[in-house]
Chains A and B, each alone.
Chain A
């Protein structure tokens, strides 16, 4: 018996952007009815490859075969008619259109909308029953949760009769419950014979759902293996090109005195929406307190208040002394004087000035230090020398202090910020999304630095939307939802499921019907937000 033709086969795909070889002689076969993962670090060429497959870019060389047939894909239209559907990382939806209108856009039957809408309504109903893809067809997309918006993207592809579905980093914006639901949808699609390509940098997802996996590194396909015959450790090694410690090696924390006490912190933004609704927490020396939560639930505001660039009411004490939450003593400068270092969430806008050089970036905020002055002028030579040392100790590559910050990779940019904040020896370090957009090799290093700092007796407040990261670093974990702390747990006494529910605003474990309950909660939250905006 011969094997069926592969649903999709790439032969020798190459693509260069100027001097950068984004894809180098890539070949890959995906059998129908399977889920194939493509994993690789940022900039490994995964997205370029998929953009070629979807007709966004033209490959310099190579051939594409769909179901055994040589296929040219010059544009998206060709990809769609070849049965390829794509769910982009950043959704391609018209926000103020209804779900139905988004689904038919570009796939209408005839010049008038009415028959198309009626047909799509029926098709959507059928798809919803078949694949757990229920979405209100008449809702405006802007009123939907991110998880539901993603379902609309999947529905768009299925409505166009896609047999091959490509998903680019689909879980980055989802809560754990939503991600589980997505994986159930994908399993259902696979059972119906659809072929799915899942692009991700999360090893756990690859292990959980894929049948086969390809690893990309620096534009090349380094391996394709059966998922059942590999391990996260092996995949990580293939991605980075050397052995990587996935688990952060850490001893139990030895918490000391309370260094940060927050009581009843409240913040109302310029639109009159209350973003922080009475946050109280404390942080001890020598521990990592992780703040988990879906993005946009007040974590950013908490960091901004503690970092000194947003005004709030309430009490914050550092080493027992109350600090100003508004007025002229509430600045980043005064916070640093109080011994609070801050690695902001948004590296590109708050952490660095991208067009400035690395040595300039390595001193911002501390440039008034007498060591960097020479009379009324700045002592640039001293600053440059200092930056060189920091870059060496934090393994910033390339170690060139004269390079503009934007020319470093995400991981190396983050190392510059970390070096600047950590080397000032703060009592308290605020860290937001330390590894967002950072590759695995650098993640390992950054995590080690955080734990090293903890073991030196510093207090660390970690905000991250990556639950894995929260778990691997934190000693205690708090979950934020809708501007409030849903609860505080010892990291050893909780699990992903409990935190996942708390992230959706549920404190009581509702048992096995949890998904429905979570969705009801999310829908309620969306409705509230819609009311706010309206």
Chain B
């Protein structure tokens, strides 16, 4: 494999890791606050649809982004209502959200655009275009570093940079601010937060809202950055892979980055090498496509060592004496 191919694979890794990373951080905020969220998938899908639909109708990708985030936030609100206010089962609420999103997006798409459940292809201002960072062209002749800068670091859409900036930002919020301390506490011991006179419900809603915001960006990136338009089920299980990455990362932002890059790499390899010929044995493309999902199963089966989830995760908080 030559250097250029490697760069292209890595470049593709970064693009494919971006929605995973955003969804993974979304789940991180929610689960650190004690709300398990299996509905990342549904929220991303909803955001993908609304961002593509609004971008297509208005021609403005920014309005599309806003619409995508709004759609995702509405689903977050439903999840919050079910699992925080009404103390329902968080898994069931999440599954319901996924079904709701899978059905609603196609239904509305068909009603609005009559293109078989997809949105029209986005063009021009309807998409997030790639940004060329300063000096990318000037430096591209520098050996090694030049192409790395020009190809790998420069030339992504704004949302990619946002996603990567979210990693240190999330770490800083969680571990350096009052809000982060309380958010982590509410996922570990809500009774400690409650007796300290801080609202458990308020904190958990805040966490769920952040989760919705990040899922919204992730979905919008899928439909308006990575691809140009919405198609049925376009999230393709990314929400679940993000959950696996979250466990893999042991609910830590920097580890989440590493885990998402790994999953992104697998997807990039599968995308680039359709049939891999290993000295006569041909590995079919389906195996490569399945790799991220196989890895997910392996991770969830506990091959990554002990991952301790937040102690109060999944449990509605009921005040007791």
Asked if B188 and A113 sit within 8 Å, CB to CB, the answer is no
Interface assignment of B1: CB less than 8 Å from any CB of chain A: no
Interface assignment of A77: CB less than 8 Å from any CB of chain B: yes
Query: Which chain B positions have C-beta within 8 A of A131?
Result: none
Q: Which of A54, A75, A93, A106 contacts B182 (CB 8 A)?
A: A106
Q: Which of B175, B179, B192, B197 contacts A93 (CB 8 A)?
A: B192
Asked if B311 and A95 sit within 8 Å, CB to CB, the answer is yes
- Chain B nearest CB from A371 CB (Å) reads 44
Q: B176, B191, B198, B321: which has the most chain A beta carbons within 10 Å?
A: B321
A77-98 CB contact bits vs B (8 Å, 1 = yes)?
1111000001010001111110
Asked if B178 and A95 sit within 8 Å, CB to CB, the answer is no
- Chain A nearest CB from B179 CB (Å) reads 7
Query: Which chain A positions have C-beta within 8 A of B176?
Result: 112-114
Interface assignment of A413: CB less than 8 Å from any CB of chain B: no
Interface assignment of A47: CB less than 8 Å from any CB of chain B: yes
Asked if B321 and A48 sit within 8 Å, CB to CB, the answer is yes
Asked if B321 and A94 sit within 8 Å, CB to CB, the answer is no
Asked if B177 and A111 sit within 8 Å, CB to CB, the answer is yes
Q: B177, B196, B198: which has the most chain A beta carbons within 10 Å?
A: B196
Q: Which of B177, B196, B311, B319 contacts A105 (CB 8 A)?
A: B196
Query: Which chain B positions have C-beta within 8 A of A106?
Result: 182, 193, 196-198
Query: Which chain B positions have C-beta within 8 A of A27?
Result: none
Interface assignment of A205: CB less than 8 Å from any CB of chain B: no
Q: Considering only CB atoms, which chain B residue lies closest to A89 in the complex?
A: B321
Interface assignment of B181: CB less than 8 Å from any CB of chain A: yes
Interface assignment of B189: CB less than 8 Å from any CB of chain A: yes
Q: A92-B189, A112-B178 are in contact. Are A75 and B321 (CB under 8 A)?
A: no
- Chain A nearest CB from B196 CB (Å) reads 3
Asked if A111 and B194 sit within 8 Å, CB to CB, the answer is no
Q: A111-B177, A113-B178, A114-B176 are in contact. Are A105 and B188 (CB under 8 A)?
A: no
Interface assignment of B185: CB less than 8 Å from any CB of chain A: yes
Tally chain B residues at the interface, Cβ within 8 Å.
Answer: 23
Tally chain A residues at the interface, Cβ within 8 Å.
Answer: 33
Distance of A108 Cα from B192 Cα, bound (Å): 14
Asked if B191 and A97 sit within 8 Å, CB to CB, the answer is no
Distance of A113 Cα from B184 Cα, bound (Å): 13
Interface assignment of A227: CB less than 8 Å from any CB of chain B: no
Distance of A48 Cα from B321 Cα, bound (Å): 8
Interface assignment of A178: CB less than 8 Å from any CB of chain B: no
Q: A80-B197, A94-B185 are in contact. Are A110 and B192 (CB under 8 A)?
A: no
Q: Which of A78, A79, A92, A116 contacts B192 (CB 8 A)?
A: A92
Distance of A101 Cα from B319 Cα, bound (Å): 22
Interface assignment of B5: CB less than 8 Å from any CB of chain A: no
Q: B176, B178, B184, B195: which has the most chain A beta carbons within 10 Å?
A: B195
Asked if A76 and B196 sit within 8 Å, CB to CB, the answer is yes
Query: Which chain A positions have C-beta within 8 A of B197?
Result: 75-80, 106
- Chain A nearest CB from B316 CB (Å) reads 17
List residues of chain B with CB under 8 Å of any chain A CB.
175-182, 184-185, 188-189, 191-198, 311, 319, 321
What are 8 contact pairs spanning A and B, CB under 8 A?
A47-B321, A75-B197, A80-B197, A92-B196, A95-B188, A105-B182, A105-B196, A113-B181
New A-B contacts (7) at CB < 8 Å, excluding given A79-B197, A96-B188, A105-B193 = A56-B319, A56-B321, A88-B195, A93-B189, A105-B181, A106-B198, A108-B178
List residues of chain A with CB under 8 Å of any chain B CB.
47-48, 51, 54, 56, 75-80, 86, 88, 92-97, 101-102, 104-108, 110-114, 116, 156
